[in-house]
Structure 1
Amino acid sequence: MPLSSIHRLVRTLVTRGYVRQLPSRRYVLGPRLIHLGEIASQTLATWARPHLSALVDAVGETANLAMLDGDRVVYAAQVPSRHSMRMFTEVGRRVHLHCTGVGKVLLAGLPDDGVREVLARAGMPSRTPRTLTDPDALLSQLHRVAAQGYALDDGEEEEGVRCVAVPVPGGAPAAAISVSGPEGRMAMDAVPRVVSLLRSAAAALAAELTAGRDRPAPVPPA
């Protein structure tokens, strides 16, 4: 494009707050993009909520939607279990990737070098005695996650809690859904059934998001 056209477009973005100019005269992303990101997250959460509710009905445990957010993963939506003792994570909470089911299944979609870069920036703090804190050990686990198509958090983020997660295929931004509950109710022999239900829900959500590009998005709840 001609430089004059680029300059005019950039100045319009600056005027509207999507881009800002530094004292060095370089341009960086502006604050209005934060609001756009919030709208996108709310829209995705609105589409996901019926699928999460169906998972809670089928499994009986809390269902979550999470999205990759830089070097962390952020919970964008949740439908809680109806049990009095249940897994509860605040929507909007950002957590490390290496010790969560949703985080590991999203890391598994990155090349090894990309994973190491994320871990170098974010660190690998030990959340429980089961948390993996060695990059090589985590990479070995991520290779298995990529091959099998799901990830487990087996008391690595919170003691006594087991989480099963799968990616939402073809998602932009990268997203995952999971089911979490106490180890006593989320037994290992139930994992294959939970994975099957998660995959069906993730595929249905992905299909709905694809179709949604051609129709108005649902209105997020107030």
Structure 2
Amino acid sequence: MPRVVPAVIRALDVLELFLDRAQLSAREVMERLDLPRTTVHELLVTLEARSYLISVPGQPVQYRLGMPLFQLGAAFAGRLDLVREAQSVARDVAAACNEAVHVAVLDGADVIYLVKVDSTHPVRMVSAVGRRLPAHCTAVGKVLLSGLDQAGLDAALSKGVLTGMTPDSITDPERLRAHLERIRAESVAVDIGESDSAMRCVAAAVRDHSGATIAAMSLSAPIIRWTPQVHVEWTGLVRDGAATLSARMGYRPQPR
């Protein structure tokens, strides 16, 4: 096995302390990592010499992250492939329940499906990658709409007329806005026959490194397989799947 370099591990430990703190003093680093004063001093001096940390004068001196870390993060973000990562996570979620899993993005007032992993059941959802549907009629779409700010939502609903796909579709703008408020509070959306009367669907948001909602993941099944018990189970599965994909896209939940 290749040897792990302890000094590099310690340097990375120091940098990771700044994930939830903007600035730290040498004493705070020493106390958090339980390292000797000399070791911490050498690590901080080395990281500052390479501009990975910047010292802020004061009593005591504080340290903050430097520009090279931003450059590395930007380079990593630029290489992320939402479709590739989504396909991998969707396969895992589908394998856990043998139902259809989709990942979609918002385009105006519509959703476009980027990824689909189908079930092996003879009765399953009819859909396709690249398909476009009205966002307000789908679970993924409602999650994505709920992630917009007020101006963005106003723009998405600017036509004022919401066309339904089934009798259960929400076609009143004010009712939809109230519905989206509940989705924001619950962080999950359900499509109860709103896009297809024979189908049920649950979806959760996928976020990027900034916390913005960039996609949504859903789990869909025919009504004949949708019971209260599997609703609870599949809601957990899609939440976990969306969280896994969010982590791969650089999202890190803020501590409560």
> TM-score normalised to the size of structure 1?
0.71
Q: Which residue, out of 125, 132, 135, partners 2:173?
A: 135
Please name the residue that 2:248 is paired with: 208
Larger radius of gyration: 2
Corresponding letter in the other structure for 1:186: W
Structure ranking higher on relative contact order (CA contacts 8 Å, 6+ apart): 1
Distance 1:173 1:150 in 2: 13
Q: Does 1:188 align with 2:228?
A: yes
Render the CA deviation track for 1:91-114: whole Å, top value 9, x for unaligned: 011111111000000111123453
Paired residues of 1:126 and 1:133 also in contact (CA < 8 A):
yes
**Aligned-pair identity (%):** 37
Paired residues of 2:144 and 2:213 also in contact (CA < 8 A):
no
Please name the residue that 1:51 is paired with: 89
TM-superposed CA distance for 1:197, in Å, is 1.3
Q: Does 1:120 align with 2:158?
A: yes
Please name the residue that 1:83 is paired with: 121
Distance 1:121 1:188, change over 3 A: farther
Distance 1:122 1:165 in 2: 25
Render the CA deviation track for 1:109-168: whole Å, top value 9, x for unaligned: 123453233122374101101011101111111111110010011100111110100001
| Higher mean displacement: 147-156 or 112-121 | 112-121
The number of aligned residues is 171
TM-superposed CA distance for 1:172, in Å, is 6.3
Render the CA deviation track for 1:33-81: whole Å, top value 9, x for unaligned: xxxxxxx9x9322111121111112122100010112331100010001
Distance 2:189 2:214 in 1: 15
Paired residues of 1:76 and 1:92 also in contact (CA < 8 A):
yes
Corresponding letter in the other structure for 2:246: A
TM-superposed CA distance for 1:174, in Å, is 1.4
> TM-score normalised to the size of structure 2?
0.62
Distance 2:178 2:188 in 1: 14
Corresponding letter in the other structure for 1:188: P
Q: Write the mapping of 1:1-222 to structure 2, written as runs, cut at 5 A.
A: 43-121=81-159, 123-170=161-208, 174-210=214-250
Corresponding letter in the other structure for 1:178: S
Paired residues of 2:147 and 2:213 also in contact (CA < 8 A):
no
Corresponding letter in the other structure for 1:163: C
Distance 2:161 2:111 in 1: 14
